[in-house]
Structure 1
Amino acid sequence: MLLDNYQAQELLYNANLKEKASSSDIYAYRGDWVLKEGDIADEMGRKKPPHATMKEAALLIENDKLKFICGFIDELDLLPVFVDKYGADFAPGVLSILYVANIAQAAQVEYLGVNYVLIPLTEGMVWNELIEEMGMEKGDFKGLSAADKVIALYDAVKEYKPRYGKLTFDELSAKTTSAKRATHGAV
């Protein structure tokens, strides 16, 4: 199974959900997803933390192919890294909505045959932002298992008509900013 392969390769990081949904052969994952692996820490082969991750990722996998991807990346330049690392695992018609800290405007970008909806985000949680973007409410998830909640979100994304214009990757790259995601926590 694809998620098991990712786990064996230590590509799932800070996972909080990795389970089969109640319907058919669909698996869901929520957590961080490694984009650039950490260096080897010692002679036993243990790794240091990753250099880059897709934070707060939510994935759906069916027939060992990624059919839905959402998450947060720190900078637009990580999109090619992500596609290079995982693009072979994309299902035809994969749906992807990514939040990006350093873009000045939301846009749809076709990159290597896949349409990505890219939305600026410096504060907030990906799951909550995407629920709001889809016009969903907490009641839409009532009584669902954690994996089935990801499916419910995916079903909303399938009907979603992004209101953002289309740009090329290079056009959006020219509009990047120095914005960083705000982090909150203990001082």
Structure 2
Amino acid sequence: MSIIKDFIYDNNLQWQASYSDETEKYPYGYRGSLVITPGKVLSADKQLPPKATATQVILTAKSGHIDFLACELETLDFFEPFVERYKEVLSPEGLYIIFVTDLDADGKLEYEGLTFYMFALDESSVWNELLDHADLSKGDLKKLNAAEKIDTVCDEIKSTTLRISEKSYDEIKALQSAEGKLLFGAV
């Protein structure tokens, strides 16, 4: 069993996982959401939904650290609690791409010795954005199973140069919008 999978499941951090197993190339791959701030525990077998989650998570791990992680944060306000919750399984060598819905511009930053690529996310999804950055099309992945899709996107994005300007955390915080994500269609 993977150290990262144990960390996620032992701490009840999995949320709506669509994939949580080894892949052909990585001892552990995960797609789904991860809990940042758990919901209130009402009883021994009942708990409210999480107050904060990292959604659309795609991650891979080879050892005791997450090697690759891409996710969406609904607000930049979730970033510090996210790092606090997961820092023991993050590594300075990891590739961490975070799409933030209330961010108005992109930036690469170092925070607590870890490097994060922060991108504004308006109407797209993490998956579609990763495909764009990796220069892949949905057709490239059409015949692959879930594990092969994770491997392919992870490997391609790792070999891509993410052209993004370096910013301090304070500069990133200054780019936070008060508006957040606009919803389209029926609500």
Same topology, TM > 0.5: yes
Structure 2 length normalisation: TM-score? 0.90
Q: In the alignment, what sits opposite 1:33?
A: 34
Relative to structure 1, the CA distance from residue 118 to residue 18 in structure 2 (aligned partners, 3 Å threshold; closer, same or farther) is same
Q: Which amino acid aligns with 2:129?
A: E
- Partner in structure 2 of residue 124 of structure 1: 124
Percent of pairs with identical residues = 28
| Structure 1 stretches of 4+ moved >6 Å | none
Q: Which runs of 5+ in 1 are unaligned?
A: none
- State the match for 1:144 in structure 2: 144
CA contact (8 A) 2:24 2:151 kept: no
Contact 1:29–1:57 (Cα < 8 Å) also in 2? yes
CA deviations on 1:12-44 (whole Å, 9 max, x unpaired) are 101111121123x521110011011111122x2
**One-letter code aligned to 2:150:** V
Does residue 4 of structure 1 match 2:6? Answer: yes
Q: Distance in 2 between matches of 1:186 and 1:109?
A: 36
1:76 is matched with: 76
Cα shift at 1:77 = 2.4
SS at structure 2 position matched to 1:17: strand
For residue 69 of structure 1, report the CA deviation from its aligned partner. Answer: 0.4
**Which residue matches 1:175?**
175
Provide TM-score, normalisation by structure 1.
Answer: 0.90
Task: Tell me the secondary structure at the aligned position of residue 12 of structure 2.
Answer: coil
What runs of 5+ residues in structure 2 fail to find an aligned partner? none
Alpha carbons 1:73, 1:98 under 8 Å: kept: yes
CA RMSD of aligned residues (A): 1.8
Could you tell me how far apart the structure 2 residues matched to 1:26 and 1:34 are? 22
2 CA distance for matches of 1:99 and 1:129?
A: 9
Gap change, CA 1:172 and 1:94, over 3 Å in 2: same
Q: Shift in Å at residue 186 of structure 1?
A: 5.3
Query: 1:35, 1:52 within 8 Å by CA — same for their partners in 2?
Result: yes
Q: Distance in 2 between matches of 1:52 and 1:184?
A: 22
C-alpha offsets along residues 87-118 of structure 1, whole Å, 9 cap, x if unaligned?
11124411011110111101111111222111
Taking a change above 3 Å as real, the CA distance of residues 183 and 64 of structure 1, as seen in their structure-2 partners, is farther
Paired residue type of 1:7: Y
Contact 2:58/2:69 (8 A) holds in 1: yes
